[in-house]
Structure formats: structure tokens, C-alpha cells
Structure 1
């Protein structure tokens, strides 16, 4: 990215993508969400990347949309305002649809659309003192970025309504109690723990993990019959892959499977 809105680096098979707008507590910019969307699409096709970690620079994950930009959009036609929002929504779709596991590392604020992004990943590592907030009501706005749908996967309608109507901050510890956060970290350690988790899953079977990710993503909305049908589609397909042959042989031979070799041969 020419404006440095998105910083990228590699940690072995893990791609680390970082929101780089620390002067505004990593408020969203078009450069960030377009850059992150493009990076996720690229990662999906890169066999050397086993997992992705998304984080923020300067002690905060993302404070949400830039209110100065949002207030300027009042002058735009409704259709144009809707079009501007699709950049964010396309990013949420890219996070959910990326075949590689995506792990969010949250320090500091994850507010508004920043909360939506944090919840759109596959797993979430947060500092104990991180602050999550559905902050829209504080400025007379309604949620976007899938915040209500994503939160509804974890909490009751009553808790969802309270969080959205009050905009109150919820700590990383409380989000862990609600089942939203996978792993709690000491302040300043969320990224380190997220990378360790990403390295663990990055060593797994690429195709099987992509199918598992899809199964987990649709499970909360599918009926049992729909989920059984999807599992019945994926299991026979998985049985014919080189991954399953390597995994089963490794188990029978009492050795660790070498999925990296299969990825390198692609």
C-alpha cells in the first residue's frame, strides 16, 4: 500500500496484516479496508500462507469508522452513501470467505466497525483489558459491518440489544466469558499469542481446513439436516485427497503428518 494504511509481514507460514492509523486509534480508512480485502484474496491463492493474523498498530485494534468522513457523506445521495459502505461490507465478506484461518489479535479499542472486524475472523485473541463496544448509538448511528449478526452468534437477543442500545464498553475478560474470545492475553501479548495460534493451525491440511472453516461458519444458521447434507458432501471429497492419505498414513505410522510438503508440491 502506497499510503502505508496496511502493514504486512510474514512469520513463517503466517501472514500478519496490521491496521496502521495509530494517530486515530486505527480508525478505518478506505486504504486499509481495500488493502486488507486485496491481501486476503491474495493469501487465499498463496500455498505458502497457512493462516492470517489481523491486528492494529500502536496499542489499538480499530476504533471504527472515521467520523469526519462519515459526516461529510451527508451531502452525498443515498445510493452513493450505500456504495461507500459496501467497501466495509466487502471486507467482512472477505474475512469470512477466506479459505485460510483468520485470527484477530485485539489490544485496546475494538469499537463500532472495529468490533465487526474483530468478530468476522475465525478466532479471536484479546488482551484482558481490551475494550469492545457497539459504539454506534453514541453518535446517533446504527450498526454496520455485520455487528448485529456476528454478535448474535454468541449472545442472547436481550444481551445483544443491551450492547447495541447502550454502546457500553465490554472488556476482553467479559467477552471471553461470553464465548466471543478464544484466548485471553496479558496486555501487550495478544499479537504474540495470536501468531502462536496461527502457526499451530497453519501446519494443518489446507483443503480440509478450508472446508472445516466453511462448516463452522454456516453451522449456526443451518438446520441439522442442512449441516448433515454439507458434511455428507465434504467427507467423501476429503477421503480422496492427498491430505487425507498423508494424515491417515502418518497416524498409522505414529509420526507427524507433513502437510507442508503437499503444499510445496502444488
Structure 2
């Protein structure tokens, strides 16, 4: 049976390909498995510097299949909770992955597809893409951490527009609001994601992981606690090989070579 999602290994990065274009790339077991594989490998393999999520056929992810969701209505609350928790395990893996995760959104994202995109560190979106979180139209509520990630990234009025009214929002509007990293020509996000991956691969991987961890706690702890986290991370960073290379390159007026440093480890 053909897999509907799989992991491409490009050497210094992984691409999770969601490939069920006949249904606009919905959520499914293959996608969950591929994302968990990619984030797990990124956490343990030093050579991997980023993970990208991308959908074939000109659409990122349509979210949950309503026919499947309808069939689950007769399950117990505990059983329903277990099903939803599978998605939440995937979202947590994206948020806690030490390497940057890029969402390459061609066409659009809907439902929990928006949850996947907003769980990533960077969203690249085609200029004609739309983001639709119309759970309310089906009598459902957002999941996959979406009420949290949207509220972190967008003004309250825009979050209400997307979730309480279920209105689609253009990628260009989200770019103007700072929630989308960049917009591309139609069907151009994979190429743009590879270019962004090149920039990340040229950087100090361990340092980037430390910064991502700090960004992950910044909105959820008080200032003193966050400054304690920064103090501890900075103290460790100052003694690292990456700092020696980075500061040495600055003082010697040359470009730092973090890639060679990483390959020696």
C-alpha cells in the first residue's frame, strides 16, 4: 500500500512530504508517523539542521477528515481523547524539536492543517494560499494547540475572525501581521523552504537549538524565570565550540564555518 506521507532525507535536513493530493492531504497515521520520525531524528542526529513540512498537489494539509470524525462521534470521551492526543503528540514534537521546523504552505491549510503550520518555527506560504480554521462551522472547536499558537502570533481580533467566525485569511494578510515568515509565487514554497534551510544549515546548530528552547518558554514564565533561563544558556554558550568559532570569525573579519565544525563532531 502506498504511503500517504513519508520522510525525504536530503543530507543536512529532512522533508516530511504529505502526499494524498486527491483529498488535499488530510491528517492520517502515515503523516503522524512521518512527522514523529523526522522530529525524533532531528533531535538525535547532529547532521540534521532543519525539518520541513510540505504537501504535494498544491495544498499543504486539509486537516481532519470530516467523514472520519463523524464516524468517531459514538466513541466514549476517553476514546475520543486518545484519538485527539495522537495529534497533540505530533504538535508537541514540532514545538520541542531542537532544530527549526519550516511549514511550506502551497494552496492553503485548513483545520488542523493550520495547527500543524502554526506549530512550526517558520511559515512560508504561497501568495495565493489561504488559512482556514472553520471548526465552528462544523460545530467543533480548534485542537492541535491552535488557540494557543494563533493567540501567540496574531492580534485577538484576527484570532476571533479565524476561529469564532471561521473566515479564511489570506497568506498575504498573515504576512503583513508578522505570522508568516515570507510569501512566495504560487507553488514556490518548497524551493523557498530549501533556500531557508540552506541559511539554517550554515548557522550554529546547537546555539539555534538553545535559542529555540528559550523562545519556547518566553511567553509562559515570568521575566525573572526567563532571565534565569537566558543566564544559564548564555553561560554554557560562551564556553562552546560554536562561540569560539563565531567570535573568532568576527574578530578575524571572516565568515564563520559552523558546518565544518559540525562535521568534525
Pairwise TM-score range, normalised by the shorter structure:
over 0.9
TM-superposition CA deviations, 1:168-217 (whole Å, max 9, x none): 11111011112110111111111111110111012211111001111122
What does the per-residue CA deviation read over 1:86-135, in whole Å, with 9 as the maximum and x for residues that have no partner? Answer: 11101100001000111111011211100000000011111111110112
> Aligned equivalents of 1:60 and 1:91: distance in 2?
20
Report the Cα offset of residue 50 of structure 1.
1.1
Corresponding residue of 2:208: 209
| Equivalent in the alignment of 1:184 | 183
What's the offset of the Cα at 1:14?
A: 2.4
CA contact (8 A) 1:16 1:55 kept: yes
CA-to-partner distance for each residue in 1:49-80, whole Å, 9 max, x for gaps? 11111111110000110112111111211101
**Could you say what secondary structure the match of 1:34 adopts?**
helix
* Counterpart for residue 123 of structure 1: 122
Partner of 2:218: 219
Matched-pair contact (CA < 8 Å) for 1:25–1:109? no
Spell out the pairing of 1:98-113 with structure 2 (5 A cutoff): 98-113=97-112
In structure 2, the partner of 1:37 is 36
Residue in 2 that maps onto 1:160? 159
The CA deviation at 1:3 is: 4.1
The answer as to whether partners of 2:107 and 2:187 remain within 8 angstroms in 1 is: no
1:8 Cα shift? 2.5
Runs of 4+ in 1 over 3 A off after TM superposition: none
Flag structure 1 segments of 5+ consecutive residues without an equivalent. Answer: none
Question: Which whole-Å CA distance do the structure 2 matches of 1:116 and 1:25 have between them?
Answer: 16
Report which stretch shifted further, 151-160 or 109-118: 151-160
Please state whether the residue corresponding to 1:54 is helix, strand or coil.
strand
Q: Secondary structure at the match of 2:103?
A: strand
SS in 1 for 2:261: helix
Are 2:227 and 1:258 aligned? no
C-alpha separation in 1, matches of 2:34 and 2:16: 10
3-state SS of paired residue (2:187): coil
Q: TM-score, normalised by structure 2?
A: 0.95
Distance in 2 separating the partners of 1:3 and 1:147: 30
**2:7 maps to which residue?**
8
Partner of 1:148: 147
> Which residue of the partner structure matches residue 23 of structure 1?
22
Residue 246 in structure 1 maps to residue 245 in structure 2: yes
| Deviation for aligned residue 1:12 | 4.5
Shift of 1:263: 1.9
Cα distance in 1 for residues equivalent to 2:167 and 2:110:
10
The aligned counterpart of 1:137 is 136
Return 5+ residue gaps in structure 2 as ranges: none
Partner of 2:56: 57
Q: Secondary structure at the match of 1:260?
A: helix
Whole-Å separation in 2 of the counterparts to 1:223 and 1:184: 34
Q: Secondary structure at the match of 1:166?
A: coil
Cα distance in 2 for partners of 1:194, 1:180 equals 16
Change (3 A) 1:35 1:11: closer
